[in-house]
Structure 1
């Protein structure tokens, strides 16, 4: 059973961040992760985050299914599976502060690279690499949105193709994260209230449905401009969080 204040905070957090992600395909998940970590522990936060994001992404993917660029989804999935094997085997296990710093630095670099040097999911090998990098970061830090956005921000895809394709591949990452942290939660003997799960998934779907009208109203040029601003803002926050955690660890 969950308390009323927790239920209100959870529903408001998931609803608002799902709306943001529904419009821009970014930012909401990272904001939600920070909010959930303030409510509960790491493993429960990761599981709730994964469940709500899967619900929101599946709702968006179904709504925009005709715009999904399927070859990109397939190549990203290959990279995501490679990343899962790497993390589970313990070959790569950097700290959360390092992962957050990497997200911030790579995102800023991607925004300022010349167009010909900017990574893009439209190149097959880079789409696989994107899946590998983003999934490793997702399993370590819980988020990878700014890095994923860099691979889309300078493509020639329209806003609906970007949103549809991103939510399809993000669903894959969240499923893998849910399996990974769900296993840790069971090992720790923890549990999540079914009421919290239902509330989070319902709020995620509602926020996604409410966002469609605003996305329809945006032009591709406005979407691209606001997306770059959001990437820069989130990258700065990620970098700051990573540095703070690093110095706290040193202290």
Structure 2
């Protein structure tokens, strides 16, 4: 009986984190799920919970969504999903952890090195391919989406809103992608999603309120450090699994 309570608290806390920074909470939540269930099942459950959390975040900030950029990103997500289906991709824990651990390096690339802008058609599609592909392959996209918003002329609220809407599509694709593969998913697993869903919405709303108090500069600074610490944890775990094998 303690497991549903613990999951609800984790989902609430990570949804608050994502509500403020847009991605860090998803990284933490996936880590908790990977410790409790098989990789594919963890990614599928994570996708279901994050669909609710990102859906709530997109709804609360719907007035700020850049619909044009969202369309480009969704096209890229569709391409990534088709490629992974064609390759018959299957995840393993060590690879998932190592890839997730390395993605935070992207937030430390100097802005002047990049000329990526998700509002441009080609860049938006590429954002969907890279971010959507990573989300499907390892469960989270992390900073791989952020690097496409560095040069966009929009503030933190439009960044969070557009990313949240794109992540709804990406996480739904993940649920469908792994739903047909996961034989270990029982009725109990999906009941856990239903239990966690309201806490995802509450946490997202709390995070959205905190976001309004954060400046653009603080938002970018804190995002870098938080995802980097999480990345170090994932990288260490992945290397331990790899060397242990």
Q: TM-score, normalised to structure 1's length?
A: 0.87
Say whether 1:23 aligns with 2:51: no
Moved over 6 A (4+): 91-94
Aligned with 1:60 (options 57, 65, 71): 57
Superposed CA deviations along residues 108-134 of structure 1, whole A, max 9, x for unmatched, are: 245223524253323321221121122
Contact 1:134 1:144 in 2 (8 A): yes
Contact 2:106 2:144 in 1 (8 A): no
**Aligned position for 1:160:** 157
Paired residues for 1:41-56 under 5 Å: 41-56=38-53
Say whether 1:204 aligns with 2:200: yes
Distance in 2 between the 1:103 and 1:48 partners?
17
Superposed CA deviations along residues 30-64 of structure 1, whole A, max 9, x for unmatched, are: 10001112222223322221111111111111110
Aligned with 1:228 (options 224, 230, 235): 224
Say whether 1:191 aligns with 2:186: yes
Superposed CA deviations along residues 59-79 of structure 1, whole A, max 9, x for unmatched, are: 111110110111211111111
Contact 1:84 1:136 in 2 (8 A): yes
Identify which range, 80-89 or 94-103, moves more after superposition.
Answer: 94-103
Aligned length: 244
Contact 2:39 2:91 in 1 (8 A): no
Say whether 1:239 aligns with 2:235: yes
Structure 1: tracts of 5 or more residues without a match: none
After superposition, the CA RMSD in angstroms is 2.3
Distance in 2 between the 1:38 and 1:94 partners?
15
Shift of the 184–154 alpha-carbon distance from structure 1 to 2, 3 Å rule, reads: same
Aligned with 2:83 (options 63, 83, 86): 86
Contact 2:80 2:128 in 1 (8 A): yes
Distance in 2 between the 1:93 and 1:41 partners?
12
Aligned with 2:9 (options 12, 34, 37): 12
Distance in 2 between the 1:135 and 1:55 partners?
17
Identify which range, 212-221 or 122-131, moves more after superposition.
Answer: 122-131
Contact 2:91 2:138 in 1 (8 A): no
